[in-house]
Amino acid sequence: MHTKKNKMIVVQCWDDAPTNDRQLTEIFRKYSAKATFNLNPAKYTAKSRPMGWRHKDTEVCLLGWDDMKEVYADFTIANHTFDHAWLDQISPEQVYQEIFEGRERLRQFFQQPIAGFVYPFGMYPPEAIKVITEIGHVYGRTTGKGKYGRSADSEKFTWPIANPAVFHPTCHFRDEKFWELYEKSREVGVFYFWGHSYEIISKEMWQQFESVIARISADESATWSEVYELFTPSC
pLDDT of 231 above 60: yes
Q: Is 3 contained in some domain? A: no
How far apart (Å, rounded) are the C-alpha atoms in residues 204 and 184? 27
Q: Is 1 contained in some domain? A: no
pLDDT of residue 15: 98
pLDDT above 90: percentage of residues in the chain: 83
Comparing 179 with 52, which gets the higher pLDDT? 179
Q: Is 2 contained in some domain? A: no
pLDDT of residue 151: 36
What does pLDDT average to over the chain? 91
* pLDDT level of residue 158 (50, 70, 90 thresholds): low
pLDDT above 70: percentage of residues in the chain: 91
Its pTM stands at 0.92
Strand, coil or helix: what is 14?
Answer: strand
pLDDT tens track for 207-226: 999 999 999 999 999 999 99
> How many structural domains does the chain have?
1
Mean pLDDT value across residues 30-34: 98
pLDDT of 21 above 70: yes
Q: What is the CATH number of the domain that holds 139?
A: 3.20.20.370
pLDDT of residue 153: 37
Mean pLDDT value across residues 162-172: 93
Q: Is 138 contained in some domain? A: yes
* pLDDT level of residue 36 (50, 70, 90 thresholds): very high
Comparing 175 with 6, which gets the higher pLDDT? 175
Torsion of CA 55, 207, 177, 15, to 10 degrees: 50
Q: Is the distance from CB of 8 to CB of 24 less than 8 angstroms?
A: no
Q: Is 185 contained in some domain? A: yes
pLDDT tens track for 186-208: 999 999 999 999 999 999 999 99
pLDDT of residue 143: 92
* Structural domain range at position 168: 8-231
Q: Is 189 contained in some domain? A: yes
Contacts of 211 (CB under 8 A, 6+ apart): none
Q: Is 49 contained in some domain? A: yes
How far lies 41's CA from each of 77, 111, 137, in Å? 11, 14, 17
Q: Residue 2 burial (CB < 10 Å; 0-12/13-18/19+)?
A: middle
Mean pLDDT value across residues 30-36: 98
- CA-based nearest residue to 161, from 178, 175, 144: 144
Least confident of 21-25, 152-156, 175-179: 152-156
pLDDT of residue 154: 35
pLDDT of residue 6: 82
Q: Is 183 contained in some domain? A: yes
